[in-house]
Amino acid sequence: NKVWAVVPAAGIGSRMQADRPKQYLILNNQPVIVHSLQRLISHPLIEGVVVALSANDPYWPSLNLPSHWPIHTTLGGEHRADSVSNALEFLKNLTQRDPWVLVHDAARPCIRHSDIDSMLQQLSDDPVGGILGVPLSETIKRVNADNTIEATVDRTGLWRASTPQMFRLRGLAEALTQAKQCNINVTDEASAMEFMGLVPKMVAGHADNIKITLPQDLALAALFLQQQNN
Ligand code: CTP
Ligand code: MG
C-alpha cells in the first residue's frame, strides 16, 4: 500500500539571511527543494507529494519541474503547522482513504531512501506512527538568562527530532486542528499526536539528514550529498 508525502515549503528562511527562502537556494546545481522532492518522488512506495507554498511564491513556477512528477501544490500558512494542516486538508479532498503521510521539510535535501525504508518497515504496522531522529551526541547544558550553567542534562534518551514524520492522514489532520484550537504551539507533527495522548515511535535515522537553517549548512549539505553518491 502506497503512502503520501507532504512538504511544507512556505517558510521565509530568516535564519539563513539569504536573498530568497532557503529552499530555493542552489545546492550542487539545483535548488534545495528539488533535491528534497526528487528523493521523495523517486521512492517506489510514495504515491505523490503535496507541497505547501507561500502566496504568490515567484520561485516555485521557475523550477520547471518535470510535468510527470506527481506533485500537487496548496497554500501554506503562518506557521509550519498551518502549512502542514493546509496540505493535509488538500489531501483529504484528493483521497477517500486514510493513507500514511510522510511530512518532510523542504529544507532537508539529504534524506536517504534507506531512512525512508527504515521508517516504513518499523512503522507501517504501528497503531500511531512516528518520526525519524538521531540521538544527541554532545554534552547538554541548561543555561540561565545570564549565561551561567544551571545544570548538565542527562543525555540518556534525548534525541533530535527530524523529518519525515509519519502518521495517518486523518488522525494527524485532527491532531493539528486540536492543538491549534487549544493554542498549543507544535513545532513538529509528533507534538500534536502527543498532545492527543498518543505515543509515536522514534526511528533511528542518519545524522546527515540536516535541516538547512544557517548559512554554513549549505556547504555541509553539499558535502553530505557528495558522500552519499560515492
Ligand atoms: N515552513 C512552512 N510554513 C511556515 C514556516 C515554515 O511551510 N509558515 C517550512 C519551511 O519552508 C521549511 C520547514 O517548514 O521547509 C522547516 O521550517 P524552518 O526550518 O523553520 O524554515 P523557515 O521557517 O523558513 O526558517 P526560519 O525559521 O529560519 O525563518
Ligand atoms: Mg521557521
All three cell numbers of 126: 504501528
DSSP of 119-166, one letter per residue? HHHHHTT-SSEEEEEEE--S-EEEE-TTS-EEEEEP-TT-EEEEEEEE
* 107 CB within 6 A, ligand 1: yes
* 25 CB within 6 A, ligand 1: no
Q: For position 132, what pLDDT does the model report? A: 98
Cα-to-centroid distance, 10 and ligand 2 (Å): 9
- pLDDT for 229 beyond 90: no
Count the Cβ atoms, other than its own, within 10 Å of residue 69: 14
User: What is the end-to-end Cα distance of the chain in Å, rounded?
Assistant: 31
* 118 CB within 6 A, ligand 1: no
Which pLDDT band holds residue 168 (cuts at 50, 70, 90)? very high
Q: What is the ipTM of this complex?
A: 0.99
Which pLDDT band holds residue 188 (cuts at 50, 70, 90)? very high
Relative to the alpha carbon of 12, which ligand is closest?
1
Contacts of 143 (CB under 8 A, 6+ apart): 149, 150
- Residues 155-166 pLDDT 10s: 999 999 999 999
Identity (one letter) of the amino acid at 119? M
- Residues 69-114 pLDDT 10s: 999 999 999 999 999 999 999 999 999 999 999 999 999 999 999 9
- Residues 113-123 pLDDT 10s: 999 999 999 99
- pLDDT for 230 beyond 90: no
Which domains does the chain show, CATH number per domain? 3-131+161-228 (3.90.550.10)
Q: For position 49, what pLDDT does the model report? A: 98
Strand partners, 149: 143
Cα-to-centroid distance, 91 and ligand 1 (Å): 20
d(CA 224, CA 218): 10
Q: For position 160, what pLDDT does the model report? A: 97
Strand partners, 153: 140
Contacts of 124 (CB under 8 A, 6+ apart): 100
Count the Cβ atoms, other than its own, within 10 Å of residue 106: 29
Residue of the nearest CA to atom 25 in ligand 1? 13
Residue 27: strand, helix, or coil = strand
d(CA 154, CA 183): 30
